[in-house]
Structure 1
Amino acid sequence: MHLRADAIVLAVRGHGEHGAVVRAFTRDDGVQPGYVRGGHSGRLRPALQAGNLVQGEWRARTGEQLAALTVELVHSRAPLHREPLPAAALDWVTALTAAALPEAQPYPRLHDGLAGMLDALEAAPAARGWAAALVRYELLLLAELGFGLDLERCVATGATDDLAFVSPRSGGAVSRGAAAGYEDRLLALPRFARVGGPADWTDILAGLALTGHFLARDLLHDRRAEPLAARARLVERLQRAVA
């Protein structure tokens, strides 16, 4: 096995006294793990930060063996780690991707979506500039892994207009008229999550509540539930920021 590709660093775990096991997301070959010799050294630590873009080279004798990985930094996102809200978003979105995706399966749309989300973090560190992009990335991840929400028509009537809620059980949209009397049992569907466009803070927090429900139920359970703590910290900080 020999692979050379640009990749987004998702997760780094210490291994032995000096090494590290790194999971990085390539566009054409999916999530690839590898062992970086000296990964905890002062020379390599700055490159091996979640969110960084690196050029990786993976080598292994067999497909079952953990590959040896060497990396060169292409683009650092280290400044984001020094700002509380962007750092929390970066921690969450990379942990989510690392936990949810199987290894070595290509997800080019997700790779591009994650790159776009990280670019939005850099371009506009203020949360209003990237929080809506985070919700859209979470919706894309659900869809790419087979848990997409049906936001095109009302699950009760088939109507395609005035869609304002989502059933927490089916993941289908519900029109305002069909939801009458049952609103408290449904999840709010902000317009930007369905058709794009601007979003205010009420919409953004509603979008995060919507995606959070289905991420916890369908993807992040059992052994993969740990990243949800990072999401809870992010949502709490966003709520404090807009209070």
Structure 2
Amino acid sequence: MDLTADAIVCAVLPHGEHGAVIRLFTSTSGLIAGYVRGGRSRRLRPVLLPGNLVQANLRARVEDQLAAATVELLRSRAPLAMDRLTAPGVEWLCGLTASTLPEGHAYAQLHAALAGLLEVMDHAEDVRLWAARLVRYELLLLSQLGFALDLSECAATGSRDDLVFVSPKSSKAVSRAAGQPYADRLLPLPAFLAGADAAPDWPDILAGFRTTGYFLERDLLNGGRRADILAARERLLARLSAGYRQNKE
């Protein structure tokens, strides 16, 4: 390997006394791992924050060798790590990406979505703007990894109107009329995921998190990785929900 590319830092793990193993998300090569000498030093710790955009050079003599990496900061997301809402959001986004994508496979659409979402988190004054996009990112990631939800028409009737539920068994949309008798066994399909143009409010956003969370846990986050990866998501949802309740009161 001899690769130079702009990349989003997604995970940083200590290695040895001073080094770090990093996982980077690039637009052309997908997720790649490398060893950064001195990665835990005072100079490099601010560079290797999840969410940061860096220019990385990775070199390895043989294919199965962990690449040696050097990095240069292009865009810092440090302010996001200091905010009580965006901090768990970035931790969850980057951890989810690093733990579910196979290495060395390009996911250009997913990379663009993550880069755009981090940009919105950096600048949006209304938390709902990035929270709704985060739900859509989870939905896109499921789709890119082969677990797409079919939200185009009702699984029972074929209707494209009034789709308000998702079947946890088939991963397909269900209309209000067809799903009402089984509502307690179905997941919500908020309007912003069903194609509505209007900006979503908190009840819809939290409903969206509930639905994507079900499929993420069932299809991707199983086994030993589950608890550690989902902890950041749980913190994020607790803080978003608390903020919504305060605003409501």
Q: Tell me which interval the TM-score lies in, with the shorter structure as reference length.
A: over 0.9
Contact 2:22 2:35 (8 Å CA) reproduced? yes
- 1:147-202 alpha-carbon deviations (Å, 9 max, x no partner): 00000000011111110000011110000010121111111100101215310000
**Match for residue 203 of structure 2?**
202
1:137 paired to 2:142: no
Structure 1: gaps spanning 5 or more residues: none
Contact 1:100 1:224 (8 Å CA) reproduced? no
**Match for residue 154 of structure 2?**
154
* Aligned pairs (5 A) from 1:112-123: 112-123=112-123
Note the aligned Cα RMSD (angstroms). Answer: 0.9
Using the alignment, how far apart are the partners of 1:92 and 1:54 within structure 2? 19
**Match for residue 183 of structure 2?**
183
**Match for residue 214 of structure 1?**
215
Identity %: 57
Q: Give the C-alpha shift of residue 236 in structure 1.
A: 0.8
Contact 1:154 1:163 (8 Å CA) reproduced? yes
Using the alignment, how far apart are the partners of 1:69 and 1:120 within structure 2? 28
Contact 2:54 2:72 (8 Å CA) reproduced? yes
Q: Give the C-alpha shift of residue 223 in structure 1.
A: 2.8
Q: Give the C-alpha shift of residue 120 in structure 1.
A: 1.1
Structure 2: gaps spanning 5 or more residues: none
Q: Give the C-alpha shift of residue 116 in structure 1.
A: 1.1
1:241 paired to 2:235: no
Q: Give the C-alpha shift of residue 224 in structure 1.
A: 2.6
Contact 1:86 1:125 (8 Å CA) reproduced? no
Using the alignment, how far apart are the partners of 2:100 and 2:237 within structure 1? 19
* Aligned pairs (5 A) from 1:1-243: 1-124=1-124, 126-195=126-195, 197=197, 198-225=199-226, 226-243=228-245
Contact 2:163 2:194 (8 Å CA) reproduced? no
Using the alignment, how far apart are the partners of 1:223 and 1:27 within structure 2? 28
Say how many residue pairs are matched. Answer: 243
TM-score by length of 2: 0.96
Using the alignment, how far apart are the partners of 2:140 and 2:43 within structure 1? 35
Q: Give the C-alpha shift of residue 130 in structure 1.
A: 0.7
- 1:74-113 alpha-carbon deviations (Å, 9 max, x no partner): 0000011110101110010000000110101100000001
